[in-house]
Structure 1
């Protein structure tokens, strides 16, 4: 206890923490994926413990969150993914300039995945294989109907991109493109791994389930910007007709975003947001804790922050950890 108090005292002495009376409430956004839920609660805990401010986590969808940041109603979005959310980045960061990007916390790779058992038994190796009716039939269930292919939750921008890719790669009409929440898709995938039954859907690193050796990403042409024309619903109601994509995802960058007004509201907190970096393996542990083990994000955050004082003070001081 004395060690923790001395570390906080050090932060105050360094001018990194501020008294609660001088702070307004900080509103931190969250949504429906576990790494963001964990990060939102971690930032809330850091804001309250090290900066002496009151903080609140606000749950919504990304378009609403970014519009609220534009109005100064939300201060921080701990994760915005590019190119997944490029339409929002273009609008609020580049055009309106009311939102700024902080540090890039980690990178991700996304693609279409199946189980290793499915690949080895049925020869499903390329994304083009999904356009073959005999391969699509592999994924049919005993219940009948079209086989199911998970494109991601309905609220994700990447799910819209996967609808475009399914159409342009030629397998959209062969599958029921499902948009259940990620937690349900993970349960289905884990059951398929245990039972040795086929599964197909979008996946991404550093998610621990998608990174298992039993899960493989299908081959597809390397990313070509000339073949990646993705329009999102927030840009145009005819987004699907205007879009085209027959190329792999570009490597994904995940950044913190914050309202420009926060620079005046709490410049020391902004300095922290520009210095946070996390190892992908650590993000995988966060996803496992909050997404798989269902640990409450606030409970997880209190534990993680209590064990990572040195790392947090390094972020506050502008030192890479």
Structure 2
């Protein structure tokens, strides 16, 4: 009987030990699971196709390679950049620094954001016309209607070529969509150049409306004059000529934008909390770099194949492994490649 009691006590002790170990194990698992949970990374979408494409590339690598969740906040440049400064947005994959120079420089100086790489710096922006207006296109039976049109200063004598159908006493210049910082720049610039006496400035409602107006005119071989920029699918698909302007001079630019746009350094930026929130993604983004040619190619693919930005990002990552694999550690690259299959 005494032996049985000892055995019973021993069994009870053993069960308590097993339960204790089990509870400790459960606690460790819970702690480990919590530890593995990663924050959601928020990216800015100020509204144009190249930034949306860059976002999708960043998102695919961050999600598939590093295990983060991502989301996007859309809005105009002023709205998204203000949210970026506040820390509500973590990543801005395409900051056109010269378009928001004062706000950008202040945010950098204040430490609210950090520029960690140059995405591309071989871009251009300004007033464009289809090249066939200057050189003609014999294959399409188009004669050169403005053979001497080279500069913005030549525009007053060609206003009838670009006649505004709604106000036929003036020509029409297609500007940037409302809410874009460059819209304000263009309106001031055109007024200071005196072009408002012969042209109406027309602000399309969106990036899509602007590109549609250009594409429609081009496909029909008609005149078109307006603001555009590179990289874009338009420039990847159509032969357009950027009208020359007064060479860039900082004093002239600060005095009402009376010169050409300087090639903008387009940076990748992160909020001040990102280096703590996702240091591995910050390291990846510090190597992120594309180019005008690469982006024109990707955006033209998107347009020609009626693909969305996510599909285009996958196509791009599959076809440019030599470009992006050096951005990340080999084990991350392997995960991304596996997700692409």
Q: Normalising by structure 2, report the TM-score.
A: 0.76
Match of 1:287 in 2: 299
SS in 2 for 1:105: strand
- Residues 33-78 of structure 1, C-alpha deviations (whole Å, 9 max, x = no match): 1000111111111111111111112212222222222222111011
CA distance, structure 1, for counterparts of residue 70 and residue 284 of structure 2: 15
Q: 2:111 matched to 1:97?
A: yes
| Structure that is richer in helix per residue | 2
Quick one: distance in 2 between partners of 1:64 and 1:264?
A: 24
**Residue in 1 that maps onto 2:77:** 62
CA deviations over 1:99-119 (Å, ceiling 9, x no partner): 011211112111211122323
Provide the aligned length of Structure 1 versus Structure 2: 284
Partner residue of 1:238? none
Residue 37 of structure 1 corresponds to which residue in structure 2? 52
Aligned residue in 1 for 2:97: 82
For the residue of structure 2 that corresponds to 1:73, the secondary structure is coil
CA distance in 2, matches of 1:223, 1:296: 36
Cα RMSD after superposing both structures: 2.4
In structure 1, distance between residues paired with 2:35 and 2:306: 31
Q: 1:150 aligns with which of 152, 174, 182?
A: 174
Q: Deviations over 1:257-294 (max 9, x none)?
A: 11011001111111111111113221112322445654
| Contact 1:81 1:253 (8 Å CA) reproduced | yes
Alignment of 1:215-294 (within 5 A): 215-229=240-254, 244-290=256-302, 293-294=305-306
Query: Structure 1 stretches of 5 or more lacking a match?
Result: 1-18, 230-242
Q: 1:121 pairs with 115, 134, 145, which one?
A: 145
Residue 214 (structure 1) aligned to one of 236, 239, 243: 239
How far, CA to CA, are the matches of 1:266 and 1:287 in structure 2? 29
Go from structure 1 to structure 2 and tell me whether the alpha carbon gap of 1:143 and 1:162 turns closer, same or farther (over 3 Å shift).
Answer: closer
Distance in 2 of aligned mates of 1:309 and 1:274 = 17
Structure number with larger C-alpha Rg: 2
- Give structure 2 stretches of 5+ with no counterpart: 1-33, 135-143, 331-341
